[in-house]
Copies of this chain bind each other. A is one copy, B any other.
Amino acid sequence: MWTDPTCPVARTVDLIGDRWSLLIVRDAMDGARSFTDFQQRTGIARNILADRLRKLTAHGLLAQVEAPSGKRRQYALTAAGQDLFAVIVTLRQWGERHAFEAGEPHSVLVDEHGAVVPPVVPTSPDGTPLSSGTTSVRK
């Protein structure tokens, strides 16, 4: 099924590598829970949203949970879904750096004190910043 079945990047892209899944996860992290909530935030077509919610649920990124007080069922991120946080953040930071013209306004990710989240950078165990030139894939 995969070109390279042992590559984690390929598997991840196979699960969330489309136009909408990551935006659904983004909005779930930002508090979206209901069908219409997702639909209005993303602007996705309703049938596609239904399909993506099904797939994300089937793959264990989302789960349908009972709402507290007799309300309708809602979608919530599972632990695996929450764990995409670092992916969303790096995507966001790349976009901030490269997808906007100079001076063009865009939203910014801040921590609970309002401080801008500094760039996420992969490092080796001793803290040395890494790049594609200083890393390799071991099979």
Contacts and interface: CB of A to CB of B under 8 A. Distances in A.
Q: How many copies does the complex hold?
A: 2
A2 to B, nearest CB: 9
A110 to B, nearest CB: 5
A137 B43 CA distance: 19
A30 B139 CA distance: 13
Contacts of A90: 86-87, 89-90, 120
B83 A94 contact: yes
B121 A12 contact: no
Contacts of A12: 91-92, 94-95, 99
Nearest to A118: B125
Given A8-B107, A95-B8, A99-B11, A124 B135 contact: no
Interface residues of A, number: 76
A41 interface: yes
A50 interface: no
Interface of A: 3-4, 6-15, 17-19, 22-23, 26, 29-30, 41-43, 60, 77, 80, 82-100, 105-125, 128, 130-132, 134-139
